[in-house]
Structure 1
């Protein structure tokens, strides 16, 4: 399986990451990726960039080194009602939104399965969100059987996060359960590196191994095909309104 896009990455603008935006894009070009999304953390994460950083992402060329660049954010789910910290002035301006739960930003003293399920169910109603970020985190388990079909029904891509195999190992059994349910319910997924340094952009070794173990259907992996990836962008992302996207050159590779 050939993964053509990495749509969850961080730059030094997220101050616990270690490579510049251009270094991340260069790495994606070296690995012959079709696209990369730059998704630095929303404001509730300690060390996150400010609002102007996201508002000014419009200056980033749509293509750099032959790679399609999506301007995005990893927004934080901040409560059990599924509210997120995406700045109102950024709504409709960013191409790609990953929604995740992080301990540093999630305001819930007792994250029960019911409470976290409610948060994710409300996220399914948010048209700004494209990707369900690393939702296998053990501390924030939810009713997978109930919620995952809703992710599919509402066009949310369920992420298999390569970083979870390295930094969130306790979540691996949940990641496997989630992938099994995505297969069962034909819910599209996306493989992402969650890279915080250019050396790991486009690296999906553990994720691909899990999909192979599960005999996961390639047609459900949105970023395993340029055409499937295009189709998703055309249906759900604001990129479709970009003049460059509408031109013949957007399919540069």
Structure 2
């Protein structure tokens, strides 16, 4: 399976990532990607950028190195009510919004509390993708979470970094999430979660989970960059600048 878009990429603005937007775009082009989302961490994570960073993403060109650039955020879920660390006035102007749990931002809780937090976050109309929900640090009720994702039309990420350098022990949880997603027809996004340009478009481990779970291409948003854009357009984003390559 070949993917045309990477929905989860970081830059030096995240504070603990090591490449620029241009460096990410160059690697994306070399790997045959047609789109990447720049999704630096929200301001609550140590080292994360100020609100102004997200307000000023409008200066990013829409195309760099013949690769479409989406202006986004990986927002931090702050509490069991599912509040995010970026105000609505910034979220509404972004192309894509990821949301998830991170240490130092979310207090952690019981399975019920963590599940409640994710479901509440998914009810935010600006949230498009829940990232790395298989993190064993924040256990959830997988059935309830995946069923809610399908109900609220929010995509579930299978995060490649969770099988390489981050969130050790995620494999079994992610496989169970993927199997449940196949069962209920929930949408899937495969993200590299690259924190250095060389990892942009690196999906190998995540695709092994996709294959083992039996998820079909029709349920994966980034098999086509146009399919991803159509999904975001349905959620109210303006992509009038996009022309098919």
TM-score interval, smaller chain: over 0.9
Q: Which residue of 2 aligns with 1:50?
A: 50
* Structure 1 unaligned spans of 5+: none
**Shift, 1:50, TM fit:** 0.9
Alignment of 1:191-230 (within 5 A): 191-230=190-229
Using a 3 Å threshold, how does the CA distance of structure 1 residues 107 and 217 change in structure 2: closer, same or farther? same
What is the rounded CA distance, in whole Å, between the counterparts of 2:209 and 2:129 in structure 1?
19
What is the rounded CA distance, in whole Å, between the counterparts of 2:236 and 2:2 in structure 1?
23
Give a deviation string over 1:198-248, Cα, whole Å, max 9, x none: 00000101111122222221111110123422321220152x2xxxx325x
Q: Name the SS for the 1:33 alignment partner.
A: coil
Query: Is 226-235 or 60-69 further displaced after alignment?
Result: 226-235
Q: Which residue of 2 aligns with 1:246?
A: 240
The question of whether the paired residues in 1 share the 8 Å contact of 2:63 and 2:69 is answered with: yes
Alignment of 1:71-110 (within 5 A): 71-108=71-108
The question of whether the paired residues in 2 share the 8 Å contact of 1:25 and 1:64 is answered with: yes
CA RMSD of aligned residues (A): 1.3
What is the rounded CA distance, in whole Å, between the counterparts of 1:91 and 1:100 in structure 2?
15
The question of whether the paired residues in 2 share the 8 Å contact of 1:95 and 1:237 is answered with: no
Q: Name the SS for the 1:163 alignment partner.
A: helix
Within the alignment, does 1:11 sit opposite 2:11 as a pair?
Answer: yes
Within the alignment, does 1:172 sit opposite 2:171 as a pair?
Answer: yes
Q: Which residue of 1 aligns with 2:24?
A: 24
Using a 3 Å threshold, how does the CA distance of structure 1 residues 172 and 215 change in structure 2: closer, same or farther? same
**Shift, 1:149, TM fit:** 1.4
The question of whether the paired residues in 1 share the 8 Å contact of 2:123 and 2:152 is answered with: yes
Give a deviation string over 1:154-207, Cα, whole Å, max 9, x none: 121100000000122311110000000000101010100000000000010111
Q: Which residue of 2 aligns with 1:61?
A: 61
**What TM-score comes out, normalization by structure 1 length?**
0.93
| Over 6 Å off, 4+ runs | none
What is the rounded CA distance, in whole Å, between the counterparts of 2:221 and 2:243 in structure 1?
16
What is the rounded CA distance, in whole Å, between the counterparts of 1:232 and 1:88 in structure 2?
20
The question of whether the paired residues in 2 share the 8 Å contact of 1:96 and 1:237 is answered with: no
